[in-house]
Amino acid sequence: MGAKDFFMVALAALGWSGVGSAQGPATQAKMQAPKPGVLETYKDWTIGCDNRNRCETVSLLAEGADWPDSPVMVGVVRDAGPDAATEVWVSRDTNSGGEISVHVDGRRIASAMSRDGDATIRGPQAAALAIAMARGSILELRMGNRAIGKPSLAGSGAALRYMDARQGRAGTSTALVATGPLGPLAVRAAPAAPIIKRAPLPGATAPAALWREELTALGKFTRCTDEMKGAEPPQLFRLSRTETLILVPCGSGAYNFTSVPVIATGIAGRRAFRLASFDYKPGWSEEEARPMLVNVGWTAASCGSTASPRGAASAIAAAAKPMSGTAPASA
């Protein structure tokens, strides 16, 4: 996967919008179907916003450049609303830490301590850095006197201008690029969070282990028989009294592993299998009929999964819920 495609897939989840699938058929029919938001790409930067206009823009590998030995990514994120602050994050492919300083056109603008390669810059210096990036030509990240990366700034100003416009900041003092004489009160408020009716969470009883015959059937059904040999056994997670999510291992590399999500129904030893369905096809699926998830994990408390190839993360809405929302008190 190319660098730009890689990060555009990572941002795709930011534009997720929709409502919980636990609603009744009549209610669902009146509600808009979940759909991914629009991604905008400006030269070496791409940006996406969620259903509450929280926007995030990420640096891409410069067009035609070789993949570096130690890639460094930079992103700018901001919630909607007049009081929302800017954050700038830095992510490196390393487990080490230390202070990272950020320089634009040779001038040190901000710094932050990193942990496991990740650092987040907040407060006034984050806004100052975002503005400097939009106006600058050369971005350099350093640890001490050693340069650790030079992400491209081409398109960063246009991406941040899009963020200002999407959040209704253009022409106000809160904008990063499209500033104007109006004050914070002129900024649009964030859209209201949709109400999500959460389906009842299943009990604590763990699903029964797969029988040998079921493992064989799973391998044939998912076409992952060869990949399952020598891999960790499939992971089982109860979704309801009658349904179980099975994450079937289907290949791995040095840093990433892929899984095919399967829904099982029936009694142990004679369970029936079907592929898990999604409101939006997972971005790493190689085939239309077989969803493929990378480094997938499951959070039982929210009945949701996340899939994150090394260097990027993408939320996967197991219940077709939006990126942000509020559950009613009775849920």
Residues sharing a CB contact under 8 Å with residue 43, sequence separation 6 or more, in sequence order? 63, 152, 154, 155, 158
Q: Per the structure block, which two tokens stand in for 298?
A: 């499951």
Amino acid, single-letter form, for residue 331? A
Q: Which of 6, 75, 23 is nearest to 322 (CA)?
A: 23
pLDDT digits (tens, 9 = 90+) for 133-145: 999 999 999 999 9
pTM above 0.85, yes or no: no
- For the chain, what percentages of helix, strand and coil (3-state, to nearest 5) are there? 20, 30, 50
Any idea which of 120-134, 219-233, 317-331 has the lowest mean pLDDT?
317-331
Distances (CA, A) of 110 to 34, 94, 156, 159, 228: 39, 21, 17, 20, 47
Q: Per the structure block, which two tokens stand in for 131?
A: 């503005």
In Å, the largest CA–CA distance within the chain is 70
188 pLDDT exceeds 80?
Answer: yes
26 pLDDT exceeds 60?
Answer: no
Q: Per the structure block, which two tokens stand in for 82?
A: 């007049």
pLDDT digits (tens, 9 = 90+) for 269-304: 999 999 998 877 776 665 667 898 988 888 776 666
Distances (CA, A) of 135 to 99, 116, 180, 189: 24, 30, 16, 27
Helix H or strand E segment including 144: none
Q: Per the structure block, which two tokens stand in for 328?
A: 């009613």
Question: Where are the chain's structural domains?
Answer: 38-186, 212-316
pLDDT at 297: 82
- Return the CATH number of 38-186, one of 3.40.50.300, 2.30.140.10, 2.60.40.1880, 3.40.50.2300: 2.60.40.1880
pLDDT digits (tens, 9 = 90+) for 210-242: 999 999 999 999 999 999 998 999 999 988 888
Question: What gap in Å lies between CA 135 and CA 129, rounded to an integer?
Answer: 10
Q: Is 327 exposed, middle or buried (0-12, 13-18, 19+ CB in 10 A)?
A: middle
Question: What pairs with residue 225 in β-bridges?
Answer: none
